[in-house]
Amino acid sequence: MSQGIASPALEQAAEWFALRQQGAWSGDDQRRWEAWLREHAEHARAWQRVESIWTSFAPLAPHAAAQALDAAGRRRRRALRGIGGALGLGALSLLGLQGLQSQRQRLPLRTAAGHTGAWTLRDGSQLWLNADSEVVVDVAEGRRALYLLRGELLLQTGHAPAYAHLPLTVHTAGARLQPMGTRFAVGRCGPDSRLDVFGGAVRCLPLLGTALDVVAGSGARIGALGALQPVTADPLRGDWTDGRLQVTDTPLLRVVDELARHHRGYLGCDPRVAALKVTAVLPRLNSLQALPLLARALPIRIEQRWPWWTVLRPA
C-alpha cells in the first residue's frame, strides 16, 4: 500500500490539511504544525504527498474538470442506485449539485499579445488585463472569485451592494489573495506569482505557510507552493492600464525590463547604460516605437543583430 509511510502519519497529515484549508490558521496552529513536521521524517514525507496531491489538479481547467468529475461521480451513483434502491441509496439527492451547476457562470477573459483589456465586473470591481493574459471570472450569487491563469491582472475592488458581504478571492499559482478594499496587481511568472499592492491591503493565503497581509506600497513574490517573499511594490506594475509607460528618473534597465515583457524576441540592456535615468512617456506594448524614442533621448544606440535579438548599447 502506502510505501513506507505508516498510516498514523498519513492520518495526521490529512487532519492538518483539513485544518489548514479551513482558513482560520493561527500562529499557534503554524507552530504546532511545524513541530509536527519536524517530529518525524515520515511526517514531512506524508506532508509532501499532501502537497503533491493538492497541486496535481493544477494543469486542469478547473471549471471543466469540476463538471466532468461531477458527472463521472453522478453516473457511478446512478449505476449504484440500480442495485442500491432497496438498500436506501436511492434517496441520494442530486438537486444540490444541479442547483450549483446552473448558477455557475464562469467567464474567461483573455487578451492577445500587444493588447490590454478592461472590464467592469458584476460586483463593481474594475479589472484590467495586461497583454497576453487570461483570467476566469466567477462572480455570481454567493461567489466572488477570479482565477489568474496566465499573464497579469490589475484589480480595483468594487462595492456593489449585493456583493458587499462576500469576500473576493483571487486565485493564482501558490496562493489565494483576499483584498480588503484595494487596488493591486497580480502577475504570473512561470510557476511563481507576484503581488503588488497600490491601495488598501491584500491578505495573501499561501498554499503552504502562514497568511501575510500585504499593504499598499509593498508586494510579495509567491512561490509555486506558496513560499512568500516580501518586496517593495513596483509602481510600474500598476500603471499599464492605458498602454502607456510613464517613468520619472527610472533606471534604463527597469524600463527595458518592462518593454521586454511585450517584445517579441530578446530585448536586453548593456550594463554600461543600465543605470541611465529615464523620464519619458512611452508606448508600453510597442517596443518598436518605444526604443527609437529612448535612443533619441539618451546616449544609446539600438543594436539588432538578428530580428529576434535586440540590445541597447552605449552610443
Partner 1 sequence: MAVPATSSSVLAGFYREHHGWLLGWLRRRTHNAECAADLTQDTFVRLLSRRVDPAELRLPRAYLTTIAHALLVNHWQRADLERAYLAALAAQPEPVHPSAEERTQALQLLHAIADMLQGLPERPRRAFLMARLSGMGYAQIGQQLGVSERMVKKYMAQAMLHCLQLSGDLPA
CB of 309 to partner 1, least distance (A): 27
Cell of 243: 498602454
CA proximity to 111, closest of 92, 127, 87 = 127
Does position 65 interact with partner 1 (CB under 8 A)? The reply is yes
Does position 18 interact with partner 1 (CB under 8 A)? The reply is yes
Stretch that binds partner 1, among 75-83, 250-258, 267-275, 291-299 (CB under 8 A): 75-83
User: Contact with partner 1 (CB under 8 A): which of 41, 92, 113, 281?
Assistant: 92
Does position 61 interact with partner 1 (CB under 8 A)? The reply is yes
CA angle 281, 287, 288 (to 5 degrees): 115
Does position 23 interact with partner 1 (CB under 8 A)? The reply is yes
User: Contact with partner 1 (CB under 8 A): which of 54, 150, 199, 221?
Assistant: 54
CA proximity to 256, closest of 244, 243, 274 = 274
264 and 253 Cβ atoms separated by less than 8 Å: no
283 and 256 Cβ atoms separated by less than 8 Å: no
Does position 88 interact with partner 1 (CB under 8 A)? The reply is no
3-state class of 17 per DSSP? helix
Does position 208 interact with partner 1 (CB under 8 A)? The reply is no
Cell of 313: 548599447
In whole angstroms, give the CA distance from residue 58 to residue 49.
15
Does position 98 interact with partner 1 (CB under 8 A)? The reply is no
User: Contact with partner 1 (CB under 8 A): which of 29, 42, 70, 192?
Assistant: 70
CB of 269 to partner 1, least distance (A): 33
User: Contact with partner 1 (CB under 8 A): which of 40, 110, 122, 301?
Assistant: 110
In whole angstroms, give the CA distance from residue 89 to residue 278.
71
CA 141 to chain centre: 23
Does position 11 interact with partner 1 (CB under 8 A)? The reply is yes
Q: Outline where the chain has alpha helix (H).
A: 7-22, 27-39, 41-55, 62-84, 95-103, 252-260, 287-297
CA proximity to 170, closest of 218, 200, 138 = 138
Does position 26 interact with partner 1 (CB under 8 A)? The reply is no
Does position 56 interact with partner 1 (CB under 8 A)? The reply is yes
Q: Which residues bind partner 1 (CB under 8 A)?
A: 1-5, 7, 10-11, 13-15, 17-19, 21-23, 46, 49-50, 52-54, 56-57, 59-73, 75-77, 92, 96-97, 100, 104, 106-110, 138, 142-143, 145, 147, 169, 171, 176
